[in-house]
């Protein structure tokens, strides 16, 4: 007991910078702006895996992905003074929409840096929320330089897509809802991992609201930085980056990685073929539009069904923003 | 009051062969086999139409379409003696799956006649429920001949896809659930029309469970038999049949048409382009997989937004069985 107490205290010192109360507060803050996404079941996929699967379809979330949660919590955590200067970020994907949407909700100006080759549908969506878009060449350096210029010019607050405690606390509300809505306790919850915002949030959600639940992650083989980092104990880069799951290309951050190390049981690699098969099941059998990144958790469960068979498994489907003109099937 | 009473009695004599109690009983019968599909909202589509839209996504229903409801009620209305001989029907589409599924649920043998050019995914689904498939050339005559042979050989009961009062009563449970789950009353409910099973059921659902609700239908321009029949007062054939909405090609039946004439306010034609646009909104904005036939009601609301603006409109999305390799966008 004493030893356990010690370990727990040490974990809290090192990694538990986000408290249970902060996640509950995040949920209260964002509740009126987001969808409480339902829990979906599929007898076909239950039979296929031998598990009881409980899907949390965040593809139905505002802006089509869980990122609306973290973006909103981050903006609602800023002071009125800070919000007066607006917010800024760089993203070609769901985070751009999340910040543009959240800014519209709280009445702040959003300055979004987007690579000039971003999909038109995403540019239109960001414009639709009234954000000011700055286009740049698609390199990390150019994106960051453009954001720096905006900050100097406007005083806008920068909101990182995942390496931000308010963002992580916001993402934690997805698994919190899942635990509340399934009713019975889950043996496992699984989320995809890119930068680790959703996974760290899911892990903290389980830690505080369903401590009997083990946390797993799915990661594309073609962006396997988190698996490497999880093994080595240091934040590593992926050996190569080439995957259909274009929302999971980024490397873990120093705020997400410690939470993941402390609370995640394992990270499971899946190939693009396995992601595409999982996506096809979600579309054909469950009739829901899920993007490749969003199908990674199911792909990991399908691939490792021996591990999950007989268990009650929560599966977080992260998003559904996909170009219908460019499908893998 | 006396006059109203008279009219009501007359309607009952002519068209009300299905009572409120029969629909309630159908719901009790099928409840444990079907999904109670949720009610979905979309602020994007609300803004686009100026209406408050309440979607009933029967693409999430067992077998991916509302037809599971009618098929189950028809089979559960047969006697044990009749079920011993099995059931039969001909269909290349959702009705084949519905009867195969319903037969599996009640433990009866299903003999399904399918055109030899039916989509492989549908053949596999029917086989998956343990049904015996007889393939035939795709003509109405050959299909009916094959079914006749099965009936002579096995004594199986024929279940028509729509021109059957138990089927209509089963389909009525979709709008009954919608009225119950929306809570507040709807001004309008709209369904697609092919043979008229869903539309007649929806109309009776409104008549008995939400009489203040007006009933509309959407129909493809390229299979506009119901619009013609509605105007002329006789069951007419479509002037031509060519539409992407391949679930709505059939003509009204003598059991569906009188109900539709008595209880439907109007039937609205939509083009294939309008159906495809509605489908795209459902996929891109609501992240749900809906087949072209299933998007026809939304297409009609989008085309006639002046008619529905300011109203609370229930939209029945009939199904989501679509070939992912053959999408219109």
pLDDT tens by residue, A143-163? 999 999 999 999 999 999 999
Looking from the CA of B57 toward its CB, the CA atoms found within 13 Å total: 21
The one catalytic residue in A42, A92, A210, A297 is A92
Q: Which residues of chain B make contact with A57, given a CB cutoff of 8 A? A: 287
A115 lies in the same domain as A228 = no
DSSP B65: B
What is the full per-residue pLDDT of chain B (329 aa) written as tens digits? 334 433 443 344 445 689 999 999 999 999 999 999 999 999 999 999 999 999 999 999 999 999 999 999 999 999 999 999 999 999 988 999 999 999 999 999 999 999 998 888 789 889 999 999 999 998 889 999 999 999 999 999 999 999 999 999 999 999 999 999 998 999 999 999 999 999 999 999 999 999 999 999 999 999 999 999 999 999 999 999 999 999 999 999 999 999 999 999 999 999 999 999 999 999 999 999 999 999 999 999 999 999 999 999 999 999 999 988 888 88
Q: Which residue of B has its CA nearest to A125?
A: B285
Between the CA of residue B329 and those of B188, B221, B273, what are the distances in Å? 30, 20, 11
Q: Do β-strands B188-192 and B312-317 pair in parallel, antiparallel, or remain unpaired? A: parallel
Q: Is B287–A57 a contact, with Cβ atoms under 8 angstroms apart? A: yes
If asked whether residues A41 and A14 sit together in one domain, one would say: yes
> Do B184 and B126 have their domain in common?
no
SS3 B118: coil
Distance from CA of A151 to the nearest CA of B (A): 31
Residue B166 token pair: 């138990």
Whether A48 and A83 map to the same domain: the answer is: no
Prediction ipTM score: 0.88
pLDDT at A13 over 60: no
- Domain endpoint, select from A135, A158, A181: A158
pLDDT value, residue B13? 42
Residue ending a domain, among A158, A192, A225, is: A158
DSSP letter string, A260-327: HHHH--EEEEE-HHHHHHHHHHHHHTT-B---GGGGHHHHHHHHTHHHHTTSEEEEEE-B----TTS-
Q: Are residues B143 and B288 in the same domain?
A: no
Considering the domain architecture, whether residues A98 and A172 belong to the same structural domain is answered as no
A137 and A273 in a single domain? The answer is no
Q: Is the pLDDT of residue A125 over 70?
A: yes
- The answer for residues whose C-beta is within 8 angstroms of residue B89's C-beta and 6 or more apart is B95, B96, B99, B112, B113, B147, B158, B159, B160, B161
Domain of A118?
A: 67-158
* Residue A325 resides in a domain: no
Tokens of B258: 């009188």
**Token couple for B294:** 């299933």
Residues A57, A186, single domain; the answer is yes
Residues B88 and B230 in one domain: no
State the CATH number of the domain containing residue B44.
3.40.50.1100
H-helix segments, B85-213:
94-106, 120-128, 140-154, 165-182, 197-209
Question: Per the domain annotation, does B138 fall within a domain?
Answer: yes
Q: Is residue B1 part of a domain?
A: no
Residues of chain B in contact with residue A325, where contact means CB-CB under 8 angstroms, are: 329
Q: Which of A51, A65, A57 is nearest to A301 (CA)?
A: A51
Q: Token pair for residue B27?
A: 């719901």
Q: Which of A108, A127, A158 is the last residue of a domain?
A: A158
Say whether A287 and B38 touch across the interface (CB within 8 A).
no
Q: Which two tokens stand for residue B148?
A: 């006749």
How many cross-chain Cβ pairs, A to B, lie less than 8 Å apart? 44
**A328: pLDDT confidence band, cut at 50, 70 and 90?**
confident
- Helix B20-30 to helix B67-76 angle (10° resolution) is 100
B49 and B145 in a common domain = no
Instruction: Evaluate whether residue A327 is within a structural domain.
Output: no
Residue pair B59/B198 in contact by the 8 Å Cβ criterion: no
- Rounded Cα gap, residues B195 and B246, in angstroms: 12
| Domain membership flag for residue B8 | no
Mean pLDDT of A212-235: 97
Residues A43 and A171 in one domain: yes
Residues 6 or more apart whose CB falls under 8 angstroms from that of A163 comprise A195, A197, A253, A254, A255, A256
Euclidean distance between CA atoms B144 and B127, whole angstroms: 20
Same domain, B220 and B287: yes
Nearest CA-CA partner of B60 in B44, B82, B38: B38
Instruction: Calculate the alpha carbon distances from B124 to A51, B92, B96 in Å.
Output: 23, 12, 11
- The total number of residues shown for chain A amounts to 329
Residue A30 lies in a domain: yes
Number of domains in chain B: 2
Strand order from edge to edge, sheet including B214-220: B52-57, B312-317, B188-192, B214-220, B266-270
Q: Is residue A81 part of a domain?
A: yes
Whether A287 is in a domain gets the answer yes
Which residue from A165, A168, A161 is spatially nearest to A147, judged by alpha carbons? A161
| CA–CA min distance A89, chain B (Å) | 24
């Amino acid at each position: 007991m004493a030893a356990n107490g010690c370990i727990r205290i040490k974990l809290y010192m090192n990694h538990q910078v986000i408290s249970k109360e902060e996640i509950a507060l995040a949920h209260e803050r964002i509740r009126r702006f987001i969808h409480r996404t339902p829990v979906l079941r599929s007898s076909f996929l239950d039979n296929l895996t031998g598990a009881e699967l409980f899907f949390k379809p965040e593809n139905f979330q505002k802006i089509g992905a869980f990122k609306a949660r973290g973006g909103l919590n981050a903006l609602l955590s800023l002071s009125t003074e800070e919000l007066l200067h607006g917010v800024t970020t760089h993203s070609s994907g769901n985070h751009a929409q999340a910040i543009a949407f959240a800014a519209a909700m709280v009445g702040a100006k959003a300055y979004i840096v987007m690579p000039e080759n971003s999909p038109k549908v995403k540019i239109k969506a960001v414009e639709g929320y009234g954000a000011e878009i700055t286009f740049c060449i698609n390199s990390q350096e150019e994106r960051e330089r453009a954001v720096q210029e905006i900050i100097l010019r406007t005083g806008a607050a920068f909101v990182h897509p995942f390496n931000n405690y308010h963002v992580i606390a916001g993402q934690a509300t997805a698994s919190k809802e899942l635990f509340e809505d399934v009713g019975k306790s889950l043996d496992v919850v699984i989320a995809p991992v890119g930068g680790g915002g959703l996974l760290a949030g899911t892990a903290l959600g389980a830690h505080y609201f369903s401590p009997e639940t083990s946390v797993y992650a799915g990661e594309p083989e073609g962006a396997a930085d988190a698996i490497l980092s999880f093994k080595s104990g240091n934040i590593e880069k992926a050996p190569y980056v080439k995957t259909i799951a274009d929302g999971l290309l980024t490397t873990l951050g120093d705020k997400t990685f410690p939470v993941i190390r402390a609370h995640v049981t394992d990270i499971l690699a899946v190939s693009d073929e396995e992601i595409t098969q999982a996506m096809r099941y979600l579309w054909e059998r469950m009739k829901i539009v899920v993007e490749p990144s969003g199908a990674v958790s199911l792909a990991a469960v399908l691939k490792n069904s021996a591990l999950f068979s007989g268990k009650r498994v929560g599966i977080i489907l992260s998003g559904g923003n996909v170009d219908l003109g460019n499908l893998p099937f």
